[in-house]
Structure 1
């Protein structure tokens, strides 16, 4: 891309109405384009100040371009880039946390949205509430004007708005977490309760925390992608993101101070997102994890590569039909069987190189919501779950850090060291399964204490070790 002009903004940016925490690739491929569409259709001051809580990467890519970038649809016919201008600026919170709090406390900001992944919420795996022993929470309670956690920033900003009579904002979580709005509300109120009961009551009364369900596959951007975009547009865009054409955003209709016309841009505004969220977590995210662990072990680099093997596609379809769909309440306006047909078509899209290794990251955080809850519901209903049990066994083999050819696996997980230590200390499959299932942060008590489940996982693990992932999948 040497010699090409760098992308830059022309004209004035929109006035800020949203502060977004966590400006990673998904935000740039999903939230910002939806907001751009809403402003294009219906106007409004909904510019986005994007704030990274840790890494300067997004700022370093976006700021030299004035916040503008391309969101690029990848499809069989090639690339379809679109210029996104909704992001007005990008900050890095540790550079000046007080400035971030002040920005969020501005009365013109009506929404604070989040894409911070499961790790960013400082949630206790044991209680489901705020982890008061988390180093970030300990810091923020001691230094409330210089927060480092999302919860600390939100409470500091709401406290400032209460003091100034500025009114509350809406906190809009867009992470793949069950009842994400209710979760962040609980965490915020628990944090505020450590400070001031009047503040807690004010937040309960005035702030809103709608739950959401988001869906758009956004694979990691490669240098090849960026070069192809530069060839097409004639400009260098280091902040570009690439995504599939499909997108779905379901949002609970609960806003404290208005919202962009996201519904006119295609979002579904509903009284409750619970059923949609469970459908997505179990049907899409659950089988994504299934394909990630088993596909990686079988030597497949991407989801498209994995489902090109008809046995893996059949495994998905069997899991949906026999183990996942029977656990789902019907979502409003959705046919779950048609939804799953759409999913397999999306998985087969070879233009979306969604790497199995990428999806396999942070499995200790994902497994409970994506897989284990479905297994527990089936056990309660007396249904067998061979596909999902094989997924658990594949995850256990994956976190051991050695693949089927004896090569090391780069396991990226908050508990990676503990999981690997448990694997290394185990003598035999049964002991390994027991050790990993004893991790209370991952496995709920009902599954940890369920002998038939443990034995089934051990049997599946033995098959994986003896026959390999590909042959084991074919046997199902």
Structure 2
């Protein structure tokens, strides 16, 4: 008989590690926006490990959300006293442990309650995992977009904001008015310079409300940059059943992930921070080299395999890595075009890092899906692929592989695989992308007319030529034959 996860049943669980600390002794020090799978497999795991050392018990987490769908997560976690089962999976083994770092979750939509909690002096860090698309960034310029309707709403309704940035700013303003030290704002999303991007969003919104408040944000609030990494697929009935069958635990929303995890942070926390260096977090003066490496090689690698695999009806990521054409395509693009324009990283061999990425992608236990990797290309391509291609163009390097990656994305957005199977909408801008992809079937350069995505790259003759040839090939001979042509240097 399975054990339903809760504080009451925690002492009876023997199939998984459980917290060594008394959860009722924890007090909150962090409010986190975006309580998704990655957060619960990453930041919450690091904090749980620290608490298990008997340290940092005043840094417990309180969840927060701004989307209607966040309430479903809140209800499920509340039903199990905010506990989460994390299952780490490698090819040869699996292990489970229950984390208890979260002690509450504020109700989404209750702006007053969220702002009041943010104004509590006990809260010294506000963190975010709201996805790459949640920062209101113009894709081409990669700068904050103050004209977005959500932002203009919050500027006009500062007493009842609906975005994470509006709530954060309102909390900061309340602390400023009360003479309290501001909390540190810590992004945990895969965005180059995520601290700077977050500061631009908060200060940019403030500038629409009160220029003096914006200047105070810039001068008084810390926004450390950070690099985070752990492959964490979405939870489905498959994962719930695996947990029940293999560990005898009934968890309404468990998290499955790989064993590997990494977190590199700038040590810029004026209001204090937990001693995360004791559980493996790297604190460095400059995160940029690490995040550059990760975003270009790992995230760029995910984008490289996602679209050819999707077009060939491959479901799981490890299955894509088992396909000789996809694996060879990834290696050729990485070694010939991506890695050569990634700057050096302290104490790191970039080729060894890529080899580790290949191994992680090939992990058959993770159950990560190609559809997840292909999600939200309109936000991910401008961060993971297009900047690398632009660097190659500026260095007079070849862009054949990266142009093919972009052409594969275009072909994917047409909405059908090579077999004719329908690709369900997989991007916030899916309708726009599909319409553009259909026009580009006969006139490939139309795809590059999306200046908000491609920016200056769309003006580069070498990229235009390579993209056009690649997309024409995909339509004339299909994905498999196009990959074969590229690998044989015939594209």
TM-score by length of structure 1 reads: 0.95
Q: Which runs of 5+ in 2 are unaligned?
A: 9-22
Distance apart, 1:234 and its partner CA: 2.9
Q: Point out the more displaced range, 211-220 or 304-313.
A: 304-313
**SS of the residue aligned with 2:353?**
helix
Q: 1:129 to 1:456 in 2, by over 3 A?
A: closer
Cα displacement (A) at 1:197: 3.3
Counterpart check, 1:139 vs 2:153: yes
SS at match of 1:194: helix
Q: 383, 393, 405: which is aligned to 2:419?
A: 405
| Residue matched to 2:221 | 207
Residues 1:468 and 2:481 aligned together = no
Alpha-carbon offset, residue 4 of structure 1? 4.1
> 2:140 & 2:466 partners in 1: Cα distance?
25
Partner residue, 2:128: 114
Equivalent residues of 1:140, 1:146 under 8 A apart: yes
SS of residue paired to 1:468: helix
Unaligned runs of 5+ in 1: none
User: Is contact 1:177–1:369 with CA below 8 Å preserved after alignment?
Assistant: yes
Instruction: Determine the C-alpha separation between the residues in 2 that align with 1:348 and 1:440.
Output: 35
Q: What pairs up with 1:154-193 in 2 under 5 angstroms?
A: 154-193=168-207
**Residues of 2 paired with 1:281 and 1:323: CA distance?**
14
Number of the residue aligned with 1:15: 27
Contact residue 13 and residue 86 of structure 1 kept, 8 A: no
Secondary structure (helix, strand or coil) at the match of 1:443 reads helix
Q: Are the counterparts in 1 of residues 393 and 460 from structure 2 also a CA contact under 8 Å?
A: no
Return the offset for 1:63: 0.5
Name the SS for the 2:31 alignment partner: strand
8 Å contact from structure 1 (residues 13, 47) kept in 2? no
Larger displacement relative to structure 2 (30-39 or 393-402): 30-39
Residues 54-69 of structure 1: pairs in structure 2 closer than 5 A: 54=67, 55=69, 56-69=71-84
Partner of 2:212: 198
Q: CA deviation at 1:405?
A: 1.3
Aligned-residue CA RMSD in angstroms?
A: 1.6
- Cα deviation digits, residues 186-221 of structure 1 (max 9, x gap): 121121122223322332232100111111001122
Cα deviation, 1:111-167, whole Å, max 9, x if unaligned, reads 100000122212233554332222211211111121111211111000000011121
Match of 1:453 in 2: 463
Matches within 5 A, 1:66-85: 66-85=81-100
Corresponding residue for residue 349 of structure 2: 335
- Aligned-pair CA distance for 1:85: 0.2
Q: Does the CA-based 8 Å contact 1:39-1:261 persist in structure 2?
A: no
Match of 1:90 in 2: 105
Give yes or no for contact 2:139–2:382 (8 Å, CA) kept in 1.
no
Question: Which digits, 9 at most, give the CA deviation of each residue in 1:267-320, with x for residues without a partner?
Answer: 111111111111111101111011010111122112211111223222222222
**SS, match of residue 318 in structure 2:** helix
Is the CA contact 1:13–1:88 (under 8 Å) kept in the aligned structure 2?
no
For the Cα contact (< 8 Å) 2:312–2:419, is it kept in 1?
A: no
**Whole-Å separation in 2 of the counterparts to 1:332 and 1:169:** 30
Partner of 2:253: 239
Candidates 403, 406, 411, aligned match of 1:389: 403
Task: Say which is worse superposed, 227-236 or 359-368, in terms of deviation.
Answer: 227-236
- The alignment partner of 2:436 has SS state of helix
Q: Is the 8 A contact 1:363 1:413 kept in 2?
A: yes
Q: Give 1:390 deviation, angstroms.
A: 1.0
Distance 1:460 1:413 in 2: 22
Distance 1:168 1:368 in 2: 32
Distance 2:191 2:422 in 1: 30
* Conserved 8 A contact 2:311-2:416: no
* Aligned pair partner of 1:421 in 405, 414, 435: 435
Say which is worse superposed, 178-187 or 309-318, in terms of deviation: 309-318
Go from structure 1 to structure 2 and tell me whether the alpha carbon gap of 1:13 and 1:237 turns closer, same or farther (over 3 Å shift). Answer: farther
Counterpart residue number, 1:29: 41
